[in-house]
Amino acid sequence: MNGFLQRRAKTVASLVEKPLDLLVIGGGIVGAGIIRDAAMRGLRAGLVEQHDFASGTSSRSSRLLHGGIRYLAQGRVGLVHEASVEKKIIHEIAPHLADPLPFLFPSYRANKEWVLWQLKIGVKIYDLLCSGKNLGNSSWLNARETLQRVPGLSAEGLTGAVRYFDGFTNDARLVLDTLRSAARNGAILANYCRFVDATRKGDAWECTLVDALAEKRMTIQAKTIVNATGPWADRLPHSRVKLRLAKGVHLVVDRARISVPDTVVMTEGKRILFAIPWGERTILGTTDTDYNGPLDRIFAESADIRYILEITNRFFPTANLPENDVISSWAGVRPLIADPHGSPSDISRSHQIHNPEPGWWDVAGGKLTTYRLMAEETVNQIIHALKHAGLKPEPAPCSTAKEPLLPPAETTGISGILPPEFSQDAVQHFCENEWAAHLDDIMVRRTSWHYYYKDADARARQVAAWMKEFLDWPDDVVAKEIERYHEMTHLTEPRA
Ligand SMILES: Cc1cc2nc3c(=O)[nH]c(=O)nc-3n(C[C@H](O)[C@H](O)[C@H](O)COP(=O)(O)OP(=O)(O)OC[C@H]3O[C@@H](n4cnc5c(N)ncnc54)[C@H](O)[C@@H]3O)c2cc1C
């Protein structure tokens, strides 16, 4: 048995060993935030994730820490304030995963939804909603200054632009580092372990889990359970959540093709899309369409790709991006609280925490940016219930807004907004310290190498060879892992 499987067997043994105070189902950003908070307050807490950590929506976002200037236009001031405060907290506790990101929002005569004078007022209010101090001060530019800053931008009907700040993160790394922080505080974490069902027996739940790596079923006890399964939240037994799923797609292109110094906001009527600078690449997105398909295989369809390229080419007419300029893409679904009315873009991104039966909590909605707050509010409710049932000793107060996620020595060269350097050492670290079990765990979520590199397929073969060494894979596993990587990333035509 390799080192990873030995460590994992110990994890599983400690899940079974004695009852948990809390079982968190779902290893996305919401589950990660909850388990970190619970462990830091001293609860005996475990988390199970059916696939890899962050493999759901939390590795498929726009990677922005934002109050949401769009929500301001919808009058959702409370939501914007809440998220604006949280974006600054993440900047404090995880500076390696929260770069200040300037946005340039051009205004055009033809679009009456985003008029320059309104944008100018909007960005000043936006700054104030960050408790008076945003990650940078907003300003505005006339048409000439706008074109000087972004020379490729369409000049036709341009009236000027506003410039404001939000944060740029790496969604999957934020999940992984939050989990690493939880583990340092005693949390028990298992990826590839699916929650199947739970029965209330006396004061606790008897839960059935399936460990996909060991291919075995097991039973564990937990006093409380949180359903933090994002888009899956209304599919779990005991759940009372009602969701409306909205799909969003992002494309990655060469930065030389869409050269943006700041994130450029592209509009289509009320809708906004972004061109986000990411090292040598530019990320384009996103779409926002109702989704009813399978949750385990979500990919960018041709129509999504054409839509994003069409808007981008309208804003950057000389770029004339064809489909084969797309280096990579990702697609995810937003787990929005159900509202049958309006378009997905109009539905609130606020969150809800419900306790429909004793010992069971559903947490739904929200955003990457507000995960810490969602976690704090959920754990407050759970501690209240546990204390009522006689929890001793007194748990510590919440400290997640102050305590850094990890010391810099544990993130340097490993975790950041840009992919880490392509190296055997990095792969060894992910195998030994970050629960990597499959090739796609490393290529996609721990590093983003899959999205970043044009020769990702060749690099994946190299990573598989390194993983073979660190995880003692038999020869046939390497080929199976490469096949799985292609399937998981929809890489039907291997790149270079
Ligand atoms: C296109 C797009 C762009 C976005 N952009 C932004 C942005 O820029 N900024 C922002 O703040 N927010 C953004 N969001 C929203 C944000 O990404 C989500 O709100 C957030 O990631 C949801 O996290 P989650 O933990 O609830 O869900 P998920 O990340 O999906 O995690 C749920 C997990 O539960 C697991 N699970 C399900 N069933 C079981 C089971 N039975 N047993 C064990 N595990 C199970 C799943 O495998 C999954 O990993 C965006 C969302 C999308 C789709």
Buried b (16+ CB within 10 A) or exposed e, 285-321: bbbbbebeeebeebebbeebbebbbebbbebbeebeb
For residue 133, the domain's CATH number is 3.30.9.10
The residue among 343, 372, 402 that closes a domain is 343
Domain boundary among 308, 343, 378: 343
The tens-digit pLDDT sequence of the chain (496 residues) is 778 888 899 999 999 999 999 999 999 999 999 999 999 999 999 999 999 999 999 999 999 999 888 888 888 888 899 999 999 999 999 999 999 999 999 999 999 999 999 999 999 999 998 876 888 999 999 999 999 999 999 999 999 999 999 999 999 999 999 999 999 999 999 999 999 999 999 999 999 999 999 999 999 999 999 999 999 999 999 999 999 999 999 999 999 999 999 999 999 999 999 999 999 999 999 999 999 999 998 999 999 999 999 999 999 999 999 999 999 999 999 999 877 666 666 666 789 999 999 999 999 999 999 999 999 999 999 999 999 999 888 999 999 999 999 999 999 999 999 999 999 999 999 999 999 999 999 999 999 999 999 999 999 999 999 999 999 999 899 999 999 999 998 754 445 4
Give yes or no for a cis peptide into 11 (omega within 30° of 0): no
Evaluate the CA torsion angle 215, 216, 217, 218 in order and state its sign.
negative
For a mutational test of ligand 1's pocket, the pick from 15, 241, 286, 334, i.e. the residue with the most ligand atoms closer than 8 A to its C-beta, is: 334
Structure tokens at 308: 């994003």
Looking at the domain assignment, is residue 334 inside a domain? yes
Amino acid sitting at position 106: P
- Neighbour count for residue 254 (Cβ, 10 Å): 15
Q: Are residues 256 and 143 located together in one domain of the fold?
A: yes
Q: Which of 15, 53, 89, 232 to mutate to test the pocket of ligand 1 (most atoms within 8 A of CB)?
A: 232
Give the CA-trace dihedral at 100, 80, 34, 346, to 10 degrees.
-110
Residues 249 and 155 in one domain: yes
158 and 269 assigned to the same domain: yes
Question: Are 278 and 153 contained in the same domain?
Answer: yes
Whether residues 380 and 466 share a domain: the answer is no
Quick one: 338 and 370 in the same domain?
no
- Domain holding 266, by residue range, is 99-167+244-343
Using alpha carbons only, give the angle 5, 27, 428 rounded to the nearest 5 degrees. Answer: 40
Is residue 413 included in any domain, yes or no? no
Q: Which of 388, 410, 445 is a domain's end point?
A: 388
pLDDT, position 340? 63
Structure tokens at 92: 């404090």
Contact between residue 228 and residue 28 where contact means Cβ atoms under 8 Å apart: yes
Paired sense of beta strands 289-290 and 243-254, if any: antiparallel
194 lines ligand 1 (CB under 6 A): yes
**Residue 492 dihedral angles phi and psi, to the nearest 5°:** -75, -30
DSSP annotation of 495: -
Q: Quick one: 158 and 250 in the same domain?
A: yes
Neighbours of 386 (CB within 10 A): 20
- Rounded distance, CA 203 to CA 389, Å? 8
Residue 94 lies inside a defined structural domain of this protein: no
Atom of ligand 1 nearest to the CA of 369: 11
Q: Both 276 and 332 in a single domain?
A: yes
Angle between helices 171-184 and 29-40 (to 10 degrees): 20
Whether residue 393 is contained in a domain is answered as: no
Q: What CATH number should be reported for the domain holding residue 211? A: 3.50.50.60
Q: Look at residue 71 and tell me if it is in a domain.
A: no
Residue 341 has a pLDDT of 66
Asked, for residue 202, whether it belongs to a domain, the answer is: yes
d(CA 216, CA 292): 31
Residues 106, 16 share a domain: no
Cα dihedral 329, 335, 341, 346 sign: negative
Q: Determine the distance separating the centroid of ligand 1 and the alpha carbon of 467, expressed in angstroms.
A: 27
Strands 64-65 and 263-268: unpaired
Distance 103 CA to ligand 1 centre (A): 24
Atom 37 of ligand 1 has which residue's CA nearest to it? 229
- The per-residue pLDDT for 347 is 64
Do residues 230 and 251 both lie within one domain?
no
**What six digits make up the tokens of 165?**
């700040």
> Does the Cβ of 332 fall within 6 Å of ligand 1?
yes
Look up residue 149 and give its two tokens: 């800053």
pLDDT of residue 490: 76
Cα–Cα distance list, 213 to 136, 172, 192, 330, 444 (Å): 46, 21, 6, 26, 19
Quote the pLDDT of residue 346: 61
174 DSSP assignment: H
pTM of the predicted model over 0.85? yes
Three-state secondary structure readout of 75-136: CCHHHHHHHHHHHHHHHHHCHHHCEEEEEEEEEECCCCCCCHHHHHHHHHHHHHHCCCCCCC
* pLDDT score recorded for residue 345: 63
From the CA of 53, give the closest atom in ligand 1: 49
Q: How far is the CA of 337 from the centre of ligand 1 (A)?
A: 13
d(CA 56, CA 286): 17
For ligand 1, the distance from its centroid to the CA atom of residue 58, given in whole angstroms, is: 4
154 close to 316: Cβ distance less than 8 angstroms: yes
Q: How far apart are CA 308 and CA 306, in angstroms?
A: 6
Count: domains in the chain? 3
* Dihedral in degrees, nearest 10, Cα atoms 486, 492, 314, 59: -20
Amino acid at site 484: R
Query: How high is the pLDDT of residue 494?
Result: 41
**Domain contains 234:** yes
Q: Are residues 209 and 256 in the same domain?
A: no
Is any atom of ligand 1 closer than 6 Å to the C-beta of 87? no
Q: Two tokens at 400?
A: 């997640």
- Answer yes or no: do 119 and 212 share one domain: no
> Atom 25 of ligand 1 has which residue's CA nearest to it?
28
**Structural domain contains residue 186:** yes
